[in-house]
Structure 1
Amino acid sequence: MSANHLGTYLRARRDLVDPKDVGLPGGGRRRVPGLRREEVALLAGISGEYYLRLEQGRDQNPSPAVLDALARVLRLDLDATRHLHALATLTPRHGGPAPDDERVPPGIEQLINTSWTGTPAVVLNRYMDVLTANPLAIALSPSNQPGINAVRSAFLDLRLRSLYLNWGEMTIRAVAGLRALVGPDGSDPRIVELVNELSADSETFRRLWARHDVSPAGAGDSQLDHPRVGRLELRYERLLLAGTDGQLLVVHHAVPDSPSARKLAQLADTLGT
């Protein structure tokens, strides 16, 4: 890879490790916020010179065993470990189809608009652009409008700060989700443009992007204060769509027979579904 994504990731993640968490003395006059390079190398069982080459991009082909050792030292979870391996082994795709040229699988389009009329559902591309959404998803949040970039909306659309009671958690997930979908394509021109824009306009985004957290498909919780129906506590599922270039299906649902389920049904009723 032309850019040193592996080295950047290693530097970012060692800054986040508390020395005490890996058995090293903390405090004192440390010049770095987390682990020193030589400490990472020692704990991973590799030479300091070799680790320096990895961070500087002079060696970008570490073995899987070395990557696993670094992951343990940097206290990476399974998703972050997979991301580390991807940065070291995959060739960035750079580019890909523009949003207007991307097509959601017809079966998915039919499913969310015909069978899931009472379930908010959205499909995002790997840049987190909304490709399609059913009417209930659009009624749930302005960030679900097709053509909107979900990450840009999370940070720059002020309506979301009052809509999402857990707005801080949502922004963390948005940035980590974008990192996961992009993978080793951090120098993709579209990603560079988006990151530069949000870094200039949002200090929160700038700080979160620098952490290099990754969060691929999975589940979580959303808490909303919706202007039409009030408080909603929803669960979401994020599913990667097979046969696509990283498209992600995001579905929200409520616990059956709960107040939130009744309010979600009420919102659907206002749409004539």
Structure 2
Amino acid sequence: MDVHAELGEFLRSRRARLRPEDAGLPAYGGRRRVPGLRREELAQLAGVSAGYYTRLEQGQSPNASDAVLDAVARVLRLDEAERVHLYTLARPKARARRRVVRPERVRPGVRLMIDSFGDVPALVMGCFLDVLAWNPMAHALLAGHLDFGAPDRPADRPNIARMLFLDPHLRELYGDWPRKARSTVADLRLIAGRHPDAPGLTGLVGELTVRSPEFAKLWAAHTVGDCGAEPRAYHHPVVGTMALLTEFMTLPNDEGQRVAVFNAEPGSPSQAALRLLADLTVAGGAPAT
């Protein structure tokens, strides 16, 4: 991915969502040639010259100061995730020599950890949302229709984003699929900013853009954000509807890998449904879905 192009598209998309009056500028009426703030207006509000801001938006100011980036972020009303994304794109790291790309691996201790969760679904996601490992409960919750051993085979690994947009099972599983889809694409945008040259990510985005018009539209919006930890409704085909809270833990010794853990409120009907799913999983493997 071209980091300079990504920076320009991101800044233009943020400018487009702001009306002049939102930024304290007078609205004179009439039709504007561009939606949202013009470059000149943003530069004025940020206290920089129009020419400098134009060069920044074109990726020609790799040494932009913290003060300038903070001023641009303030005018554009960026949240924390968007601010981090702006800094990542504006200051791309020097490209290292191309390395041989090896499949991601899960450390034995991490695999033992998610297995020890027992009746609590847990999985390990790789840098680009591949499922690197899951315990039987996470498999039963999300993808009982897939082979449990698929994450152990790099060529067959399920990918959360790919399944979400291309697998009808996950579309039906999430009670608010559009919200989950927006959250996943926003997370993938953050990842793309950190790893612009990763062929695996470029291939994934290209595939989803071609095969899913919904993904293509969300990707073009340049929304960024971390995966939310708010409760989500799951319409499981075997045990019914559950409200589960997902927590994500970044593994400090494994760049980009995260553990996702799914829990229900103690004493809730959702916890009872999760226990039923555990009983069925222990009795005969992942329930057929």
> 1:184–1:65: structure 2 CA closer, same or farther, 3 Å change rule?
same
Distance 2:236 2:221 in 1: 31
Amino acid at match of 2:254: T
Q: Is the 8 A contact 2:175 2:235 kept in 1?
A: yes
Match of 2:245 in 1: 235
Match of 2:53 among 51, 56, 69: 51
Describe how 1:46-85 pairs up with structure 2 within 5 A: 46-85=48-87
Distance 1:228 1:243 in 2: 37
Match of 1:173 among 166, 183, 192: 183
TM-score, normalised to structure 2, is 0.86
SS in 2 for 1:270: helix
> 1:254–1:18: structure 2 CA closer, same or farther, 3 Å change rule?
farther
Distance 1:95 1:194 in 2: 19
> 1:165–1:82: structure 2 CA closer, same or farther, 3 Å change rule?
same
Match of 1:111 in 2: 113
Match of 1:154 in 2: 164
> How far off its partner does 1:182 sit?
3.2
> How far off its partner does 1:161 sit?
1.9
> How far off its partner does 1:193 sit?
1.6
TM-score, normalised to structure 1, is 0.90
Match of 1:207 among 217, 229, 236: 217
> How far off its partner does 1:77 sit?
0.6
Distance 1:3 1:140 in 2: 37
Distance 2:193 2:248 in 1: 17
Find runs of 4+ consecutive structure 1 residues off by over 6 angstroms.
93-97
> How far off its partner does 1:110 sit?
0.5
Describe how 1:251-262 pairs up with structure 2 within 5 A: 251-262=261-272
Distance 2:108 2:19 in 1: 48
Match of 2:135 in 1: 134
Match of 2:254 in 1: 244
Stretch deviating more after TM superposition (116-125 or 88-97) = 88-97
SS in 2 for 1:183: helix
**Which structure has the larger Rg?**
2
> How far off its partner does 1:152 sit?
1.1
> How far off its partner does 1:14 sit?
1.5
> How far off its partner does 1:213 sit?
2.1
Query: What is the root-mean-square deviation in Å for CA atoms of aligned residues?
Result: 2.3
Q: Is the 8 A contact 1:217 1:240 kept in 2?
A: no
> How far off its partner does 1:22 sit?
1.8
Distance 1:131 1:93 in 2: 26
Distance 1:240 1:218 in 2: 14
> How far off its partner does 1:97 sit?
7.1
Whether 2:174 is the aligned partner of 1:164: answer yes
Q: Is the 8 A contact 1:94 1:185 kept in 2?
A: no
How high is the sequence identity, in percent, across the aligned residues? 45
Match of 1:31 in 2: 33
Q: Is the 8 A contact 2:184 2:227 kept in 1?
A: no
Match of 1:122 in 2: 123
> 1:199–1:214: structure 2 CA closer, same or farther, 3 Å change rule?
same
Consecutive unaligned residues of structure 1, counting only runs of 5 or more, are none
Distance 1:123 1:217 in 2: 14
Amino acid at match of 1:226: H
Distance 2:196 2:97 in 1: 9
Match of 1:267 in 2: 277
Q: Is the 8 A contact 1:122 1:251 kept in 2?
A: yes
Amino acid at match of 1:126: C
Q: Is the 8 A contact 1:13 1:211 kept in 2?
A: no
> How far off its partner does 1:203 sit?
1.9
Match of 2:287 in 1: none
Q: What are the superposed Cα offsets for residues 98-124 of structure 1, whole Å, 9 maximum, x if unpaired?
A: 5x73222322210111x2111111111
Q: Is the 8 A contact 2:233 2:241 kept in 1?
A: yes
> How far off its partner does 1:137 sit?
0.6
SS in 1 for 2:132: strand
Distance 2:198 2:98 in 1: 6
Q: Is the 8 A contact 1:124 1:131 kept in 2?
A: yes
Q: Is the 8 A contact 2:59 2:90 kept in 1?
A: no
Describe how 1:86-97 pairs up with structure 2 within 5 A: 86-91=88-93
Q: What are the superposed Cα offsets for residues 42-86 of structure 1, whole Å, 9 maximum, x if unpaired?
A: 111111000111112222221111111111111111111112112
How many residue pairs end up in the alignment?
271
